[in-house]
Amino acid sequence: MRNLPVAIAALALPLTSCTTTPEPLTLVPEQQAFWDALSSHCGPNGEGRAYAGTLVSEDARDADWAGKAMVAHWAECSSERIAIAFHVEDEPIPPSSSEAVGRQASWNRSRTWLVSKEWQTDGHIGGETYELRLDHDHRHEDGERDAVTGYGGIATSKGTARGQDFPVHADALAVFAREGLDASTTNVWRMEVDPASDPNARFAYQLTRENDPTRLFRVEFDASTPVAPPPPAWGW
């Protein structure tokens, strides 16, 4: 019995010696090209570019968005996640109004889009791989999270180098069920982006619904001409 610890160590040795570092998982080529295009707007030093945009869809349900100034700001970039803050002007002050003198328009800074790499093992696209995930981070002005936050989708198809669709994911369904947002359970979000090197680069965010072919919310940004970065989104 005195040699038992040695025997146990000998048995354990082959298991230890066979342990290897797993190969890093990667995106499929189409999604990697999309990720690279999105990442190109982080700037050469990761400072994060900002672009002006506007509502381009005409769904009557979004009438209160029409004509408002918008800015998309690449607020945070890493090898695993890109955070794009979506700033929307509140009710603009008419230029002819006496209130406009010396006063700046206020902005809603509650929204941030999070595009990240999601490790998948269930073969959405094939085998163990990373897939792209889109989440929405909603905050109040004091930085507290809104009740409706953390929803989004996972790109379960290859998409293209310039566009990816994100059908609603399970976490979003749980949020919508809790908050009684039944109309949102078939949401599909879409992002389109051109590389920053493209002289006519555009960036777009879009929402449609599989159970409502008339639903369309789409905003587009001129990603060829950076603007001054806005203040941080609430809670960031």
- Domain of residue 211, residue span: 22-91+104-222
Bridge partners for 133 per DSSP = 116, 154
pTM: 0.84
**pLDDT at res. 65:** 96
Confidence (pLDDT) at 234: 98
Low-confidence ranges of the chain (pLDDT < 70): 1-25, 46, 92-104, 120-129
Let me know if residue 10 belongs to a domain: no
How many CA atoms, within 13 angstroms, populate the side-chain half-sphere of residue 195? 7
pLDDT at 45: 74
**C-alpha–C-alpha distance, residues 236 and 232, integer Å:** 6
CATH number, position 48: 2.40.128
Domain count, the chain: 1
Asked if residue 63 belongs to a domain, the reply is: yes
> Does 15 fall in a domain?
no
> For residue 8, is it within any domain?
no
Bridge partners (DSSP) of residue 88 are: 70, 108
Q: What is the pLDDT of residue 130?
A: 77
Tell me if 206 is assigned to some domain.
yes
75 in a domain, yes or no? yes
pLDDT at 131: 87
